[in-house]
């Protein structure tokens, strides 16, 4: 079987590690918090981030990054995008050149405006794949049917191996070759999910939410195509699938941030009591900057950025979106 290390023991990292361990793989699960590791060893459960999930005997918690990064045939990075650079600064020198790296991050780094795979390639020449799609950790932990996308170079010899490695009777994996499209879909949907939560927090109704999701998808496609993604990628699991889930599911951290913003709380108040990271908060700034640099109009992303980072009133932001100049929905030819 494969020797696998999962870097990041939040809810999704824990669930992915356990899924792989239940298939008979030896899996090291690295956590930054020493007390989380000790708790997992003693109780065989990650109480802070995934309470109730019994951990496989094949899952070995560790606080030693050198052990996790230096011994694996496959490394799965399940940490927020903003932390990847810091982890790789420490881990890259000890990662073997034939180790396959899989990222499950869904964000865009502030400052550099890079996706996770681009950050990884700064440090490593290894094969890189991206795991994305509509997948709440809680439902995967309960073995509810889930389908995701695994993006990897179309000439990679590892595509089928990785597909088989993650696949179970409840976790279906499709392969894809559009890495940038899959990453952008996963990152940008978090920003639209915050907007969707704001919409619901303000009590604007289902019509408004449906319109917002649809127009949000248009914004994602516009930017994605300019940045080299394939348009049809965004109609797939890592695009429309993940967007719908994150914009409508109450298990979504990003949607919850938006709901609370719409309910009158400030970003500082919301983030101060959130245990897990909502990637859309930081990605809203990166996406806004990326759109400006690419010359792409993204009015929903812009308003989310201004609400979170410039203390704009959510109600004013919605009013300005609705009062924009009239447009043609699609331009053909």
88 CA to centre of own chain: 18
| CATH 3.40.50.720, domain 3-177, yes or no | yes
Tell which residue, 252, 281, 239, 244, has the closest CA to residue 12: 252
Q: How confident is the model at residue 101 (pLDDT cuts 50, 70, 90)?
A: very high
Comparing 151-160, 195-204, 304-313, the range with the smallest average pLDDT is: 151-160
**For position 273, what pLDDT does the model report?**
87
Q: How confident is the model at residue 61 (pLDDT cuts 50, 70, 90)?
A: very high
Residue 152 has pLDDT above 80, yes or no: yes
Global pTM reads 0.96
Residue 117 has pLDDT above 60, yes or no: yes
How far CA 319 is from CA of 202, 280, 311, in Å, comes to 12, 22, 15
**For position 332, what pLDDT does the model report?**
63
Comparing 75-84, 101-110, 319-328, the range with the smallest average pLDDT is: 319-328
Choose, from 23, 106, 114, 189, the residue flagged as catalytic: 189
Over residues 134-162, mean pLDDT:
95
Tell which residue, 130, 113, 131, 62, has the closest CA to residue 91: 62
Residue 71 has pLDDT above 90, yes or no: no
E-strand stretches of 106-264:
128-132, 146-151, 171-176
3-state secondary structure at position 59 = strand
**For position 155, what pLDDT does the model report?**
77
CA distance 25 to 57: 10
**For position 333, what pLDDT does the model report?**
53
In whole numbers, what is the pLDDT of the chain averaged over residues? Answer: 95
For the stretch 266-309, pLDDT in tens is 999 999 888 778 899 999 999 999 999 999 999 999 999 999 99
User: By the 8 A CB rule, do 27 and 17 touch?
Assistant: yes
Q: How confident is the model at residue 248 (pLDDT cuts 50, 70, 90)?
A: very high
**For position 186, what pLDDT does the model report?**
98
For the stretch 12-51, pLDDT in tens is 999 999 999 999 999 999 999 999 999 999 999 999 999 9
For the stretch 198-237, pLDDT in tens is 999 999 999 999 999 999 999 999 999 999 999 999 999 9
Q: Which CATH class is domain 189-322?
A: mainly alpha
User: By the 8 A CB rule, do 107 and 283 touch?
Assistant: yes
Q: For residue 143, indicate whether it is catalytic.
A: no
CA distance 117 to 128: 7
User: By the 8 A CB rule, do 217 and 234 touch?
Assistant: yes
CA distance 2 to 229: 31
Q: Which two tokens stand for residue 111?
A: 């400052």
Domain-wise residue ranges, the chain: 3-177, 189-322
Residue entry with tokens 């400052």: 111
**For position 286, what pLDDT does the model report?**
98
CA distance 157 to 322: 49
User: By the 8 A CB rule, do 126 and 99 touch?
Assistant: yes
3-state secondary structure at position 165 = helix
């Amino acid at each position: 079987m494969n020797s696998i290390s999962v870097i990041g023991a939040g809810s999704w990292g824990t669930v992915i590690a356990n899924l792989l361990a239940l298939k008979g793989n030896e899996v090291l699960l690295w956590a930054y918090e020493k007390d989380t590791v000790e708790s997992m060893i003693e109780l065989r459960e990650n109480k802070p981030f995934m309470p109730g999930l019994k951990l496989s005997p094949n899952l070995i918690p560790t606080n030693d990054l050198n052990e996790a990064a230096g011994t694996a045939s496959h490394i799965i990075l399940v940490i927020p995008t903003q932390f990847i650079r810091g982890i790789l600064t420490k881990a890259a020198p000890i990662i073997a050149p034939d180790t396959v790296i899989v990222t499950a991050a869904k964000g865009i780094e502030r400052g550099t405006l890079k996706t996770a795979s681009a950050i990884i390639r700064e440090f490593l020449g290894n094969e890189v794949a991206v795991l994305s799609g509509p997948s709440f950790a809680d439902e995967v932990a309960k073995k509810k049917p889930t389908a995701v996308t695994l993006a990897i170079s179309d000439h990679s010899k590892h595509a089928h191996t990785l597909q088989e490695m993650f696949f179970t009777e409840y976790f279906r994996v499709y392969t894809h070759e559009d890495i940038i499209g899959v990453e952008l879909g996963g990152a940008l949907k978090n920003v639209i999910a915050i907007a969707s939560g704001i919409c619901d927090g303000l009590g604007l109704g289902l019509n408004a939410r449906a319109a917002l999701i649809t127009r949000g998808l248009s914004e994602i496609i516009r930017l994605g195509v300019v940045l080299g993604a394939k348009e049809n990628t965004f109609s797939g699991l890592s695009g429309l699938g993940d967007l719908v889930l994150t914009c409508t599911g109450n298990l979504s951290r990003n949607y919850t941030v938006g709901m609370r913003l719409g309910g009158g709380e400030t970003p500082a108040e919301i983030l101060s009591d959130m245990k897990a990271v909502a990637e859309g908060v930081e990605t809203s700034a990166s996406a806004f900057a990326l759109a400006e640099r690419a010359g792409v109009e993204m009015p929903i992303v812009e308003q989310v950025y201004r609400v979170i980072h410039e203390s704009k009133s959510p109600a004013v932001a919605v009013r300005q979106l609705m009062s924009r100049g009239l447009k043609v929905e699609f331009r053909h030819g």
